[in-house]
Amino acid sequence: VWQKAYERLKRDVHGLKTTLVLDSESSFYYQGRVWVSDFKSDKNYETITLNYRLNPYKHSVLDIKTGGVYTLKNVQVKDKKEIRLTRDFDMTLIPEFTNKTLNTISVDF
């Protein structure tokens, strides 16, 4: 089962431009790249490690017009840093992400 999940992740998200919804901010999505960086197995459990690099902009999920949205669980926004963009209005973005489990993300299928 885990080998199948690992192969599916590699096929579906490894290195591709991806749209992600973090469970800590489920009304927004982020775009960037995700890649499978490690697969460990022992007799009790398997760990698939994903790394990600996301653009520092969040978008409303109401704006999604295409499929392919992946939801990552156990991810939280931490250490808020602000970036100001000058347009017709000021917008504050929170670009940095970390998760609760030392760069290991669990993915529900």
Helices assigned H by DSSP within the chain: 2-12
Mind listing the pLDDT tens digit for each residue in 83-103?
Answer: 333 334 333 333 344 444 444
In this prediction, residue 42 has a pLDDT band, given cuts at 50, 70 and 90, of confident
pTM above 0.95, yes or no: no
pLDDT at 89: 38
The residue type of 91 is M
Q: What are the domain boundaries of the chain?
A: 2-74+100-107
19 pLDDT band (50/70/90 cuts)?
confident
What is the identity of the amino acid at 16? L
- Residue-level pLDDT at 106: 47
Cβ contacts of residue 31 below 8 Å, gap of 6+? 17, 18, 19, 20, 54, 55, 57, 59
Averaged pLDDT, 69-96: 43
Residue of 100 and 35 predicted with greater confidence: 35
The DSSP output letter for 59 is E
Rounded CA-CA distance 52/14 in Å is: 10
Tokens representing residue 68 in the block = 């392919």
